[in-house]
Copies of this chain bind each other. A is one copy, B any other.
């Protein structure tokens, strides 16, 4: 059975784009659309989607209030993926506090969007790596490392990512961790998926941008 998604955005163009990107996936089905937050609750009750992809800035009822309302009024609420244009959107922080499971930038590439939908639907939290640092700053007493944990990296995956940021190859990481190269490849693939990275270079960039590691 496919992954069912409800789209909520006041811009028809954005909805059309998301529908095109997501419907192209065999395992994802867009079951409905809404143009504002007020229409979300009845649609969620009626359609029972696995995930709601929702803009944070909308008329009538914004993403924060809509998220809160959905979580209150539905017994088995869908996962909620908040969509935003800006990285440093204070609305995102509010939405995450209200219970959203992750957020995504509108300018993300299609592959990243699909990846984010799948990850959040599967229960992992997802924060766009470049924004983790800012969120960590906003949370104040929360460390960047803890914010990174919201991206659901396991201990071993974090070990692997750390060695990746030292420039090690898979074979060298395997030697360092005393495991097989196939194991390292599994972990690397998991890291790439969770960070929304296409290759290890992008993963290292995400690690620096997120504060997972710092220069010097």
Kindly identify, within residues 189 to 215 of chain A, every residue whose CB is under 8 Å from any CB belonging to chain B.
197-202, 204-205, 208-211, 214-215
Q: Is A216 an interface residue (CB 8 A)?
A: yes
- Pick from B202, B204, B209, B216: contact of A205, CB below 8 A: B204
For residue A181, give the distance in angstroms from its CB to the closest CB of chain B. 16
- Pick from B169, B198, B201, B215: contact of A209, CB below 8 A: B215
> A198, B167: Cβ atoms under 8 Å?
yes
- Cβ contacts A163-202/B at 8 Å (1 or 0 each): 0111101000000000000000000000000000111111
Q: Is A15 an interface residue (CB 8 A)?
A: no
Q: Is A57 an interface residue (CB 8 A)?
A: no
Residues in B with CB closer than 8 Å to A79 are none
Instruction: Choose among A167, A198, A209, A210 the residue with the greatest number of B CB atoms under 10 Å from its CB.
Output: A167
Residues in B with CB closer than 8 Å to A165 are 205
Q: Is A19 an interface residue (CB 8 A)?
A: no
- Pick from B112, B204, B215, B216: contact of A201, CB below 8 A: B204
> A215, B204: Cβ atoms under 8 Å?
no
> B214, A215: Cβ atoms under 8 Å?
yes
Q: Given the known inter-chain contacts A204-B204, A204-B205, please indicate yes or no for A167 contacting B215, CB distance below 8 A.
A: no
